[in-house]
Amino acid sequence: MEHVDVIIVGAGLSGIGGACHLKVECPKKSFVILEGRETMGGTWDLFRYPGVRSDSDMYTLGYRFRPWRDNKAMADGPAILSYIRETAAEYDVEKTIRYDHRVRRASWSSDHARWTVEVETGPEKALVQLTCNFLYLCTGYYNYESSYTPDWPGVARFRGTLVHPQKWPEDLDYTGKRVVVIGSGATAITLVPAMAERAAHVTMLQRSPSYVVSRPAEDKIANWLRRVLPDRAAYVLARWKNVLSGTFFYNLARKRPELFKWMVARGVRHELGEKYDSKDFTPPYNPWDQRLCLVPDADLFREIREGRVSITTDHIETFTEDGLLLKSGKRLDADIIVTATGLVLKLFSGMQLVVDSAPVDLPKTLVYKGMMFSDVPNFAFAIGYTNASWTLKCDLTAGYVCRLLNYMDQHGYAVCTPRVNDADIEEEPVIDFNSGYVLRALDTLPRQGSKTPWRLHQNYLKDLSMMRYGRVDDGTMEFKAASVARAAGAVASG
Ligand SMILES: Cc1cc2nc3c(=O)[nH]c(=O)nc-3n(C[C@H](O)[C@H](O)[C@H](O)COP(=O)(O)OP(=O)(O)OC[C@H]3O[C@@H](n4cnc5c(N)ncnc54)[C@H](O)[C@@H]3O)c2cc1C
């Protein structure tokens, strides 16, 4: 059976980033990336709807180690995909990717101090096994196969075209068509102005509004820094500028919600003038109880002002032959209805984790430093922030995995396992968001603890000090030499 030091699962933004870290920081480690799809890029390859883009700035969504060189800070999907591909080529990690390798199960054996990973590949879904010392999951957070669509009455009656953004038909022509986009999250807010460029009219139908804030698509300060400084220096400064301003505004929103709400409402009123209707922009929750929606260069507001887009805040009574009948009695006629109703959160794409023949029950585990689970040895996962760019956290995680591996090598350890050895730790939900996709999955998720290192900081500065400069041997991580691990395994099985 083929054996490598590290298996990375997933060749998206995080998997490619993780591989580059390994290449540079652990040059002697052998590794492969197992990717279930035929191509790299993950999210940025899967989503093909009009206008698909980031809603974070690329100075923080980009890798710490590779400058973002495009003028646009809020970047289009294809530009992000190119960035991932170019990074993989530049760091020479492309050749380590095994495409069409879908991991179904990974089981840890203490006897052998290694993982056995079961993979489906090829048209026959042949089962292949590989082993590794350390398993690093970079599988994203949602179900690739299906998206969330509520069970609306009458859907089958609708004679027009029904589309979900996760499975966008390549040949969908919406020129001159009446479009209704159901949803109010980042996807709806992106799609609506993009489709309005060609459609006859686009209506965004939302059950409840989101906080919507306009940001310049281009970051003038970052672009100026790039003109006057070498690439890397400009990138570091732009990244820090955005980390600090993002942290400031997040804290302001959480500590002074009324002030923040007022600022957001003032911005929207200013953009929309007489077209402003407070009920379409006043969510029933506080800022950052759900993710904030950012629009580049006020594109959504411009389309509303110019009459190509309208927003309706209402509930669906039923689909009809011609569109939708709403609870208020209003009808929305449509040729195309887009259900931007969200993702299905599914950690590790449902792959099964087993430790010494016992399946890992995620809700019974605690998350360690936002990257490992209690009692699961030689294992890490890349999950980003909910309140800042994904990569800020995943870069720290990948760096920490390398520190951990190097530390183990230096001390002759083969096994590392986070253990809850503090009786005062209390369990809490892992995410404090109240977005539908989080609430729907909360009982399948692991938990966090009330104290460091079991607490999820959702704060780059705190994580930076813990993960880049904090001790690896922190009193919570248990280390074992290979011989000790094997002896313990022999006792347990004997
Ligand atoms: C439309 C959209 C826009 C977004 N915009 C932003 C943004 O602006 N800012 C931000 O911070 N975040 C954003 N996100 C979150 C986004 O998913 C992350 O930023 C980031 O791209 C995730 O990268 P990833 O590599 O961790 O996961 P993914 O991109 O999901 O990649 C995971 C990869 O793992 C593979 N995989 C999964 N399971 C298996 C398995 N069992 N075996 C083998 N391979 C497997 C998948 O095929 C995929 O290639 C957005 C998400 C979406 C859906």
**Regarding beta strands 336-339 and 178-182, do their DSSP bridges make them parallel or antiparallel, or are they unpaired?**
parallel
42 pocket-lining for ligand 1 (C-beta < 6 Å):
yes
Alpha-carbon distances, residue 347 vs 39, 61, 192, 344, 454 (angstroms) = 20, 20, 29, 10, 18
Distance between Cα 474 and ligand 1 center (Å): 30
| Pocket flag, ligand 1, residue 12 (CB < 6 Å) | yes
Radius of gyration of the chain (CA): 24
Q: Evaluate: CB of 209 within 6 angstroms of ligand 1.
A: no
Is the Cβ atom of 160 under 6 angstroms away from ligand 1? no
pLDDT digits (tens, 9 = 90+) for 9-58: 999 999 999 999 999 999 999 999 999 999 999 999 999 999 999 999 99
Q: What is the pTM of this model?
A: 0.95
Residue nearest atom 48 of ligand 1, based on CA coordinates: 42
What's the one-letter identity of residue 344?
Answer: V
Q: Find the mean pLDDT for residues 257-271.
A: 95
Q: Identify which of 44, 139, 394 to mutate to test ligand 1's pocket (most ligand atoms within 8 A of the CB).
A: 139
Residue 374 beta carbon below 6 angstroms from any ligand 1 atom: no
Please tell me the distance from the alpha carbon of residue 439 to that of residue 426, in angstroms, as a whole number. 21
pLDDT, one tens digit per residue, over 137-179 is 999 999 998 888 889 999 999 999 999 999 999 999 999 999 9
- Is residue 98 within 6 Å of ligand 1 at its C-beta? no
CA–CA distances in Å: residue 32 to residues 135, 138, 166, 377: 10, 12, 28, 19
For residue 209, say if its preceding peptide bond is cis, omega within 30 degrees of 0. no
pLDDT-derived band at 457 (thresholds 50, 70, 90) equals confident
Query: What pLDDT is recorded for position 272?
Result: 94
Residue 490 has pLDDT above 80, yes or no: no
**Looking at the predicted structure, is the pLDDT value of residue 233 above 50?**
yes
pLDDT higher than 70, residue 95: yes
Tell me, what's the pLDDT at 468?
96
CB 198 within 8 A of CB 175: yes
435 dihedral zone (left: phi>0; alpha: psi -120 to 50; beta): beta
246 lines ligand 1 (CB under 6 A): no
The pLDDT assigned to 493 comes to 46
Q: Is the CB of 37 under 6 A from ligand 1?
A: yes
Task: In whole angstroms, give the CA distance from residue 379 to residue 377.
Answer: 6
What atom of ligand 1 comes closest to residue 165's alpha carbon?
1
Neighbours of 245 (CB within 10 A): 11
CB 387 within 8 A of CB 288: yes
The reply to whether ligand 1 has any atom less than 6 angstroms from the CB of 347 is: no
> For residues 174 and 198, is the Cβ–Cβ distance under 8 A?
yes
| Ligand 1 lined by 402 (C-beta under 6 Å) | no
**Cβ(103)–Cβ(118) under 8 Å?**
yes
Would the CA dihedral through 390, 386, 346, 454 be positive or negative?
positive
Q: How far, rounded to the nearest angstrom, does the alpha carbon of residue 189 sit from its chain's CA centroid?
A: 18
Does residue 35 line the site of ligand 1, with CB under 6 A?
A: yes
Closest-CA residue to 212 (of 183, 186, 248): 186
Please work out whether the CB of residue 351 comes within 6 Å of at least one atom of ligand 1: yes
Ligand 1, closest atom to CA 142? 30
Q: How far is CA 96 from CA 22, 31, 348, in A?
A: 12, 7, 20
The reported pLDDT for the residue numbered 439 is 78
Assess whether the C-beta atom of 60 lies below 6 angstroms from ligand 1.
no
Q: Is the CB of 16 under 6 A from ligand 1?
A: no
* pLDDT at res. 444: 86
Tell me which residue has tokens 């399948």: 444
Average pLDDT value over all residues in the chain: 94
Pocket probe for ligand 1: among 191, 390, 397, 401, the residue whose CB has the most ligand atoms within 8 Å is: 390
Q: What is the pLDDT of residues 360-406, one digit of tens each?
A: 999 999 999 999 999 999 999 999 998 999 999 999 999 999 999 99
CA 136 / ligand 1 centre spacing (Å): 15
Question: Which three-class secondary structure string do you get for the chain?
Answer: CEEEEEEEECCCHHHHHHHHHHHHHCCCCCEEEECCCCCCCCHHHHCCCCCCECCCCHHHHCCCCCCCCCCECCCEHHHHHHHHHHHHHHCCCHHHEECCEEEEEEEEECCCCEEEEEEEECCCCEEEEEEEEEEEECCCCECCCCCCCCCCCCHHHCCCEEECHHHCCCCCCCCCCEEEEECCCHHHHHHHHHHHCCCCEEEEEECCCCCEEEECCECHHHHHHHHHCCHHHHHHHHHHHHHHHHHHHHHHHHHCHHHHHHHHHHHHHHHHHHHCCHHHCCCCCCCCCCCCEEEECCHHHHHHHCCCEEEEECCEEEECCCEEEECCCCEEECCEEEECCCCCECHHHHCEEEECCEECCHHHCEEECCCEECCCCCEEECCCCCCCCHHHHHHHHHHHHHHHHHHHHHHCEEEEEECCCCCCCCEEECCCCCCHHHHHHHHHCCEEECCCCCCCCCCHHHHHHHHHHCCCCCCCEEEEEHHHHHHHHHHHHC
Instruction: Give the atom of ligand 1 at the shortest distance from the alpha carbon of 34.
Output: 43
* Cα 375 to ligand 1 centre (Å): 26
- pLDDT for residue 491 is more than 70: no
d(CA 435, CA 126) in angstroms, rounded, equals 38
